[in-house]
Structure 1
Amino acid sequence: MTHPDTAGETLTARQRAVLDAVLALMVERGGDVTMTAVARRASCSKESLYKWFGDRDGLLTATVRWQASKVRAGNYDRTRLDALALRDSLIRFAANWLAVISSPTSIALNRFAIGETGARGGNLGAIMLANGRFAIGERLKPVLEAGREAGLVAFDDTEIAFRTFLGLVGRDVQIRLLLGDALSLRAEEIERDAARATDQFLSLYGTGRTAPGRDKINA
């Protein structure tokens, strides 16, 4: 399996363009994507699609990985992690994730996965979980564990800490968007919400050595 942090890097520019075409079709058609439609939109042959991605599930898997690869934490040195670097990494992850889940492409992907799983018992739900939610978790957990090793945060279970952080960041945003709420998140709002969620998380798990700003949490 492609590592979540390198999913985009292993693709050629042509392949990334194909996956962007898949995402565009999902937004337009509500998820009704066929290999023929993708080949037509991306101006390539179906033979190329099968060569690059295998079957339709392979194409959808690559599409989910490509979308999820946009969610990354900031750069940090695990051996010299300080409070400021930890806070910045968490904010960068939170902002990236909020921007991705609030995008029309992610909304379309999630709606289609839910509908396909419920109506036809398709594989997209499992693909989304494995290459989206779970892969993103594996990307952030090393940051949290590095913070624990540096004595900046304290927790017993990394998965619980990750889920707490994700809950603070996401709140009810994703479910509202999936249900059709015309919620619009501007870049400055995303940055503000990401910083607030990070400071709330550090208030819960911080050891007293966390970054400045913990006492400035916005309600």
Structure 2
Amino acid sequence: MNPPHPAASTLDARDQRVFDAVRDLFSTQGMQISMDAVAQQAGCSKQTLYSRYGSKQELLRRVMQRHVSRATAGLHSLDQGDLRGSLLQFATDYLEHCNQPHVAQARRLIAADSPHFPQEARALYRDGAGALVLHVAEWLQARTALGQLGHDDPHFMAELLLSMIAGLDFEKQRFHTPHRADATVRRRWAEFSVDSFLRAFAVPETAAASHSNQHRSFS
């Protein structure tokens, strides 16, 4: 996957209003979101939206690109040598984002609507969760090339990592069952999932360094 376009991380005010509108509407309208509704929510005309983004599909693609760029920012926020720190920042950010009420509500609505909008649902997956897996896989592959991770299939590793981080928390939310609603509890789960992943894939020297950094962080 190509790196996110610079515009994905530095939006101007017009894009930000539109993207915020899409985010809010996903949590109330799900897949039934329309350009009319986005224009009204963002305070602009529908003609402006089509002029700026070309189509609803392209607008949603840009929104998903922005989401992936923000979700993976933690992987690049620390020095390359701090493998555990980067993974832990990513895991914490991912859990915090997915536990926002509007995100949980949007997930429920989109899942309910997807049988009626299969093409749009597949596009959302491709540009959202699918792109996230690809980005994480490329990051893991780069760390493997640096000798920090043992050689394996980076795409399998990325999917496994995301599954470990998510656990059953999102399923519990979907069925309105008590879940990790506290930030401290989510942090502990993020540490457990990252450390379990590193025990499986980190080379011995990297694992030892990560273990040492972990102890220093709690001292």
| TM-score of the two chains, using structure 1 as the length reference | 0.82
Which of the residues 98, 106, 109 maps onto 2:106? 109
Aligned-partner Cα distance in 2 for 1:29–1:106? 12
Give the residue type in structure 2 aligned to 1:212. Answer: H
CA shift in 2, pair 1:2/1:144, >3 Å: closer
Aligned-partner Cα distance in 1 for 2:213–2:164? 15
Q: Is the 2:25–2:33 Cα contact (8 Å) retained in structure 1?
A: yes
Report the counterpart of residue 208 of structure 1 in structure 2: 204
Which of the residues 167, 175, 194 maps onto 2:163? 167
Q: Which secondary structure does the structure 1 equivalent of 2:211 belong to?
A: coil
Report deviation, 1:17: 1.4
CA shift in 2, pair 1:164/1:20, >3 Å: same
Report deviation, 1:167: 1.6
In structure 1, stretches of 5+ residues that fail to align are: none
Q: Is the 1:71–1:93 Cα contact (8 Å) retained in structure 2?
A: yes
Give the residue type in structure 2 aligned to 1:206. Answer: A
Which structure dedicates a bigger proportion of its chain to helix?
A: 2
Identity of aligned residues (%): 24
Q: What's the C-alpha RMSD, in Å, of the aligned pairs?
A: 2.7
Give the residue type in structure 1 aligned to 2:145. Answer: E
Q: Is the 1:64–1:132 Cα contact (8 Å) retained in structure 2?
A: yes
Report the counterpart of residue 119 of structure 1 in structure 2: 116
CA shift in 2, pair 1:129/1:7, >3 Å: farther
In structure 2, stretches of 5+ residues that fail to align are: none
Q: Is the 1:116–1:122 Cα contact (8 Å) retained in structure 2?
A: no
Report deviation, 1:65: 2.4
Report deviation, 1:119: 2.2
Q: State the Cα deviation string for residues 151-198 of structure 1 (Å, max 9, x = none).
A: 222132111111221121111112222333353533333322222111
Q: How does 1:129-140 map to 2 (within 5 A)?
A: 129-140=125-136
Q: Which secondary structure does the structure 2 equivalent of 1:118 belong to?
A: coil
Report the counterpart of residue 62 of structure 1 in structure 2: 62
